[in-house]
Amino acid sequence: MTIGFVGLGIMGLPMCKNLLKAGYTVVAFDPYAATALQDVVSCGAIRGKSNADVAAQSDVVITMVPNSPHVREAVFGKDGIAEGAKPGLDIIDMSSIAPLESKDIAEKCLAKGINMMDAPVSGGEPKAIDGTLSIMCGGPKALFDKYQDVLKVLGASAVHCGDSNGAGNTVKLANQIIVACNIAACAEAFSLATMAGVDPEQVFNAIRGGLAGSTVMDAKVPMMMNGNFKPGFKIDLHIKDLNNALDTGHGLGTPMLLTSQVQEMMQWLHNHDCGSNDHSAILKFYEQITGVEVRKQEG
């Protein structure tokens, strides 16, 4: 099996490398990431000349790009995947996009004889590197079953969320709401503890094993306490996901009160040059208001 890979950003680059390590033949391309493309080529990938060229050489193409317009461009744009697709080509779109967009793109693909599954991921750069992402899949169950071995290379879990395209992206939006609100709650709580004169590291050790403990707390609070906001998942990308969540919720008539509040925090951070920070930098919103940094105490 030859796998095409389009999109070599923070997540796509390590995912592509993991496929190479697993022994798959990979044809890669990204017009916006020449350095990353050279990196995977040096690891054994075949350099694609365009998205169409990737499709022409592949049995299945994985797309990992920022948002809905980028998926449309990669598939249907000039020299896009659809141009080079052989009959029966499969696309696994691992981007996080709006569910209705995912459904529409899949329908247009099917009209061209291309099968598509949406399979967004959660876990950020560390889990992309480790190959332990959580993968949420929507689309025909047969397509999900067909690529189980590929998905197992990229993730610790892959769950079929529904037969309709967009089901995976709906689950991803739910995931992103919970993650964003969890990070914001941690930032608020640890700001409170610090202002009350309690060492945040002691707070972390005291509560992480109880009901308040979470994977988000374990991953993000140490970053906060170390002042390390190197992006594993950028605030700007989380803004994109929450915009998709709000649009979807508004269309369904679902109250999105917490999501909208956290979105406002993230938008404020974007407007204060923090958009490229890790989403744990929600803490900076509180630090700006309080004038107090949440950091481990020395000694």
Taking Cα atoms as reference points, which of 262, 190, 265, 173 lies closest to residue 226?
190
| CA dihedral sign of residues 63, 68, 72, 78 | negative
Taking Cα atoms as reference points, which of 76, 65, 68 lies closest to residue 31?
65
Is residue 146 part of the annotated active site? The answer reads no
Catalogue the E-assigned strands of 153-194: 155-162
Contact 147, 60 (CB under 8 A): yes
Distance (Å) of CA 175 to CA 33, 96, 149, 214, 246: 28, 11, 24, 13, 13
Distance (Å) of CA 161 to CA 136, 154, 173, 295: 6, 17, 13, 39
Contact 249, 260 (CB under 8 A): no
| Residue 93 to residue 65: CA distance in whole angstroms | 9
| Residue 235 to residue 269: CA distance in whole angstroms | 8
Residue among 17, 103, 172, 240 flagged as catalytic: 172
Q: So which residues are the catalytic ones? A: 172
